[in-house]
Amino acid sequence: MERGNQTEAGNFILLGFTEDPDLQSLLFGLLLSMYLVTVLGNLLIILATISDSHLHTPMYFFLSNLSLADIGFTSTTIPNALRNIQAQSRVITFAGCISQIYFFIVFGCQDNLLLTVMAYDRFVAICHPLHYMAIMNPRLCLIMTLGSWLISVLGALPETMTILRQSFCSNIVIPHFFCDLTEVLKLTCSDTLINNIVMHSVTIVLGVFPLTGILLSYSQIFSSILRISSDRGKYKAFSTCGSHLLVVSLFYGTGLAAKLSSVATLPSRISVIASVMYTMVTPMLNPFIYSLRNRDIKVALGRVLSKMVPLRESMNPCLP
């Protein structure tokens, strides 16, 4: 193949989900529906936590930031995929591809770090309940949240910047619906040793370490729950972290599947399906997991929706 520097000229070609034109309309409707549900569900969580004073606690403050990160995570890939389907185009510029990789890493890391912070919050709430408000004070919560955003923004730079030094072959075709870093590195014509070292280092620091913190937190949580004498007390303690534990399992389970499918020599369709679960299904399900298992969230969402109905009626006086 002809060598060429993709940073100077040319575009990437995203193969997308399918080449069957008969499935394009169905696929567009499905993706658009999932995207709207994801954005709307997470926006409702944010509005509920802001508007309801009962939810002005550390746990819901972290949850609202997680919802914001989920909106950004999904918006990094799906709108471009929808545009490509609608315009019957698979082309993405080099700058667009690099931007997509950067923000995908940013919001992915932010999800990861926020889940770690939320695990620590549950650890303090269950293992040190009498000192919870003193430890999880507003200043610490703000520092941890801003710190996670800052680490994510800076942590995504090394992986993204090292791509700029790479040379790519002409007519680059990515067997995916977005610019996945692993897939892009497979198409370079130059040495990727530095890229792989940086990628694995960032994965360890911003992936493995936070996961280790989550596991350590839950080991202490489960140990404390087992020491509770009454079954009712055990159930109440476990219910406070059940939603978070389910979200953690879903996030890391789908993320690991997507990572392994992109690294291993598996069919591209399997890799795409795993990525869909990671980038779309998980952010879409998070609001449902927290709202269905949490009475406070359901009450707050009911208040938000009840306020929106009179507002809609006042904006449209023709409604009966």
Amino acid letter for position 160: T
Query: Under 8 Å CB-to-CB from 182, ≥6 apart: which residues?
Result: 199, 259, 262, 263
Amino acid letter for position 116: T
Q: Answer yes or no: is 127 within a domain.
A: yes
Q: What is the dihedral of CA 241, 247, 253, 254, to 10 degrees?
A: 180
Dist. CA 207–CA 267, nearest whole Å: 25
Give all strands of the β-sheet with 11-14 in edge-to-edge order. Answer: 91-93, 11-14, 172-174
Q: Answer yes or no: is 183 within a domain.
A: yes
Cα-based distances in Å from 63 to 34, 50, 171, 173, 266: 20, 11, 43, 38, 35
Q: Answer yes or no: is 54 within a domain.
A: yes
Residue 303 pLDDT exceeds 80: no
Dist. CA 39–CA 30, nearest whole Å: 14
Partners of 11 in beta bridges: 93
Instruction: Read off the pLDDT of residues 147-189 as tens digits, 9 standing for 90 and up.
Output: 999 999 999 999 999 888 888 776 688 888 888 888 888 888 8
Residue 21, helix vs strand vs coil: helix
Q: Answer yes or no: is 191 within a domain.
A: yes
If one counts the domains in the chain, the total is 1
Q: Answer yes or no: is 27 within a domain.
A: yes
Domain range spanning residue 23? 3-315
Task: Please provide residue 230's backbone torsions phi and psi, each rounded to the nearest 5 degrees.
Answer: -85, 145
Partners of 160 in beta bridges: none
Global pTM? Answer: 0.87
Dist. CA 288–CA 303, nearest whole Å: 17
Amino acid letter for position 2: E
More confident residue, 1 or 290: 290
Q: Look-up: residue for tokens 């696929």?
A: 27
- Residue of 210, 220, 222 lying closest to 115 (CA atoms): 210
Instruction: Read off the pLDDT of residues 193-216 as tens digits, 9 standing for 90 and up.
Output: 888 899 989 989 988 999 999 999
Q: What confidence tier does 76 reach under pLDDT thresholds 50, 70, 90?
A: very high
Dist. CA 55–CA 264, nearest whole Å: 43
Q: What is the CATH number of the domain that holds 69?
A: 1.20.1070.10
Task: Please provide residue 12's backbone torsions phi and psi, each rounded to the nearest 5 degrees.
Answer: -95, 155
Q: Answer yes or no: is 320 within a domain.
A: no
Task: Please provide residue 126's backbone torsions phi and psi, each rounded to the nearest 5 degrees.
Answer: -95, -40
Dist. CA 262–CA 44, nearest whole Å: 33
Cα-based distances in Å from 167 to 5, 14, 180, 315: 5, 18, 17, 55
Instruction: Read off the pLDDT of residues 98-153 as tens digits, 9 standing for 90 and up.
Output: 999 999 999 999 999 999 999 999 999 999 989 999 999 999 999 999 999 999 99
Q: What confidence tier does 37 reach under pLDDT thresholds 50, 70, 90?
A: very high
